[in-house]
Amino acid sequence: MSNMINPAWALLIGVATLIFIGFIFWPNIGLISILLRSRHNTHREQVEDALKFLFDCEYKNIFCGLQSIASNLDISEEKAARLLGHLTSMGLIAVHGDTFSLTDSGRSYALQVIRLHRIWEKYLADVTGAGHLEWHEAADQKEHRLSIEEADRLAAQIGNPVFDPHGDPIPSSTGEIPEHTGQPLSALKVGDTGRIVHVEDEPKVIYAQLMALGLYPGTQLHVIESADGKIKFIANNEECLLTSHFASAVTVVLIPHEIQVNYALLSSLKLGEKAEIKGISPSCRGQQRRRLMDLGIIPGTLVTAELKSASGDPVAYRILGANIAIRKKQADHIFVNRVIAGQ
């Protein structure tokens, strides 16, 4: 014992070592993740990102100049000009005055990248537990690394999806993509009922705000007021108010039928209360959604809140003669109508 290092020093060294290891390996801010990130902005990525952006403008009929390309790629205009010159010499784009358009080979390259991006987003959303704010960024990096064969295999594994989780169509492997449909939410009139088909995932601040309001592709909404650049509507049984700037990031298609507005959440049932299922929120997706539906959580099914776990969450519900425990977080996504006893 006597020849051993003083314990106070040993403790200091131990703590310092832990801090050092944390400094290197800590996720997101550690040395390793910073190094990995700095490797990302390669030439190939810039080429592919530029093509993607040009395609997006073309698809949505937006004017696309040098300035918007530079700001989208987050590089100087000078660099953007050099990049575009390079793309022209590769035969991927054509220049007319100050506008740029994709050539056929440029378009099919762009579609390929978009396909990889959207398949990866769909995969993250349906299969992994990645949160909805992470999909886009992760796919922005993965799209440059995934090979076409890997993407095809992945697509087959998740059932060859045709829409990504934001509601965007996924181009087919031969490069086909449907016409752009729907209109921005900001263009809807009072009394219109629509279904969200797409929520723009950039800029991230707006996207996060819209997600927080529960505006997912598939959500139905009903416009009740529209004036002074603001639009008021009912979605997910709640009134929402958006400025037209925010509302233009949401694309909807008009649907004819009236929307159900007076439902409660499954999680609000007290023990012993009975209710009829009205539907599952579109934010619950993929396998989780399918699992709930397979258990019988379908419009029309009757459920009773039966048991509360010793820690308060989850709650067991009696559904079709079986007791099924569901976490509050999922029960928040299930809409019901209370059934009054005796009815």
The contact set with another protein (CB under 8 A) reads: 4-5, 7-8, 10-11, 14, 18, 27, 127-131, 134, 162-163, 167, 169, 172, 174, 176, 178, 197, 217-218, 280, 282, 284, 287-296, 298-301, 306-314, 316, 321-327, 329-330
Smallest distance, another protein to C-beta of residue 182, A: 11
Tell me if the bond preceding 314 is cis, omega within 30° of 0: yes
Smallest distance, another protein to C-beta of residue 186, A: 22
Which of residues 97 and 129 has its CB atom nearest to another protein in the complex? 129
- Helix (H) / strand (E) element for 277: namely strand 274-280
Which of residues 97 and 312 has its CB atom nearest to another protein in the complex? 312
Which of residues 3 and 147 has its CB atom nearest to another protein in the complex? 3
**What CA–CA distance (Å, rounded) separates 218 from 177?**
20
Length of the chain: 343
- The DSSP secondary structure of 21-66, one letter per residue, reads HHHHH-TTTSHHHHHHHHT---HHHHHHHHHHHHHHHHHHT----H
* Residue 93 β-bridge partners: 102
Which of residues 106 and 169 has its CB atom nearest to another protein in the complex? 169
Smallest distance, another protein to C-beta of residue 76, A: 33
**Angle CA 284–285–289, to nearest 5:** 80
Q: How many CB atoms lie within 10 A of CB 305?
A: 21
Which of residues 245 and 291 has its CB atom nearest to another protein in the complex? 291
**Closest listed residue to residue 120, CA positions, set 160, 166, 151, 162:** 151
Residues 6+ apart with CB under 8 A from 299: 277, 278, 279
Q: How many CB atoms lie within 10 A of CB 236?
A: 20
The residue written with tokens 């958006």 in the block is: 242
Which of residues 90 and 293 has its CB atom nearest to another protein in the complex? 293
Smallest distance, another protein to C-beta of residue 294, A: 8
Smallest distance, another protein to C-beta of residue 235, A: 16
**What CA–CA distance (Å, rounded) separates 306 from 87?**
64
Smallest distance, another protein to C-beta of residue 101, A: 24
Smallest distance, another protein to C-beta of residue 127, A: 7
Which of residues 70 and 122 has its CB atom nearest to another protein in the complex? 122
Which of residues 108 and 288 has its CB atom nearest to another protein in the complex? 288
Smallest distance, another protein to C-beta of residue 314, A: 5
Return the CA Rg of the chain: 25
